[in-house]
Amino acid sequence: MTNHTGPIIRSYDPKQTLARASTIPAAWYVDQGVFDREKTAVFGRSWLAVGRCDQVCKTGDYFTSNVAGEPIVVIRGSDGTLRAFFNVCRHHAAEVATESSGCASTLRCPYHGWTYDLDGSLKATPDFAGVEGFEKNDHGLVPIRVDTWSNFVWVCFDADAPGLPEFLGAIVERVAPLELSTLRFHVRTEYEIECNWKVFVDNYLDGGYHVPHIHKGLGSVLSYQNYTIENCERFCVQSTPVQSGGGDVETAAVRGGDMAYYYWLYPNFMLNWYEGYLDTNLAWPIGVNRTKVVFDFYFAENNDATQAHLRQSVAVAERVQQEDIDICESVQRGLGSRAYNTGRLAVRREGGEHLFHRLLYADLI
Ligand code: FES
Ligand SMILES: [Fe+2]
């Protein structure tokens, strides 16, 4: 930790009750030292959802991602095993796989043609004769821990961290009734937002507080008064009844059922479920005030006859997301102001943020 980062982290008091707590200080959202520390202490330790199982069904199927600054590739081997590697060539560090996804028989680096097998071992090093003390066997792609749960592929950079089941804890049984495996992936959308990744998560975790103000359309089909917020060890569940009839017509047409469930899992994974519908959100830090958010949409009825309905459903989510982007960018500008340091939390609404901030503190200190 750099000299000035320690005092910034320690200026948050994680022992306060929700009724007495303040938010994490503004410096946590604008300071480069905090951002750098998060890369190792948060994203370097947690299990992270990096993609979908349906992207890596067959031998050679792969996808790439940039996980808090680390290029990675996840690939299905010819032995059927799913593996993850740092997507960094052992020669001069170029990214070996250059597409966001695909199917490959080998991984060939575009820079000088070094070629790796699907199991990461180095197979070919063109024009490399005469190099002394060099063992191909010692120059395979560097592996990363990988596991799957539900529809999602997870990685963890920390060799000593507990396994994925322990990290997930009770969320597995809590989510089971939603039967996510019956839903089929439809489309991915991505956004880059001018805010710190924690602003996006905070906004997600305010217990519906902003919904009547920021999301008039969505808010018209949800029951603000009956919103519930439940903190568990490393995740928060928000839920609200869905009101049928009335409200915004476009939203009501695509957000049905009785209940909406919003799950957040530390640090950056969110599941938004309505009957027959799921979108997942991943918030990836790019810079202190820049975040990439990846949405994957799934539906129970995903066939030719339903495509128009699915497009309308995604369009409603995109409108909500744009409303969130606008307010998150506004918050980021405010966090950079000399007028603001910390704020208080609504006891009825903002318990999820309190959990998030305390988990962050535990990792960062
Ligand atoms: S950097 Fe990959 S072959 Fe040179
Ligand atoms: Fe929102």
Nearest ligand (C-alpha, residue 115): 1
Quote the pLDDT of residue 173: 97
* Cα distance between residue 305 and residue 290, in whole Å: 38
The boundaries of every CATH 2.102.10.10 domain in the chain are 48-160
| Cα of 119 from ligand 1 centre, angstroms | 18
48-160: CATH architecture:
3-layer Sandwich (2.102)
* Cα distance between residue 285 and residue 19, in whole Å: 30
Q: Which atom of ligand 1 is nearest to the CA of 93?
A: 1
Please choose from 111, 122, 125 the residue to mutate so as to test ligand 1's pocket, defined by most ligand atoms within 8 A of CB. Answer: 111
C-alpha to C-alpha distances, 222 to 80, 201, 212, 240, nearest whole angstrom? 44, 20, 9, 6
Mean pLDDT per 10-residue section of the chain, whose length is 365 residues:
87 98 98 97 98 98 96 98 98 98 98 98 98 98 98 97 98 97 96 98 98 94 95 97 86 92 98 96 98 97 92 95 98 98 98 98 98
| Cα of 130 from ligand 2 centre, angstroms | 60
Quote the pLDDT of residue 292: 98
CATH classification (class only), 179-364: alpha beta
* Cα distance between residue 211 and residue 189, in whole Å: 22
| Cα of 344 from ligand 2 centre, angstroms | 19
For ligand 1, whether the C-beta of 89 sits within 6 Å is yes
Quote the pLDDT of residue 302: 87
For ligand 1, whether the C-beta of 174 sits within 6 Å is no
Nearest ligand (C-alpha, residue 213): 2
Q: Which atom of ligand 1 is nearest to the CA of 89?
A: 2
Quote the pLDDT of residue 2: 64
Interhelix angle for 32-41 vs 351-364, to 10°?
A: 80
Number of helical H runs and strand E runs in the chain:
11, 17
pTM: 0.96
The boundaries of every CATH 3.90.380.10 domain in the chain are 179-364
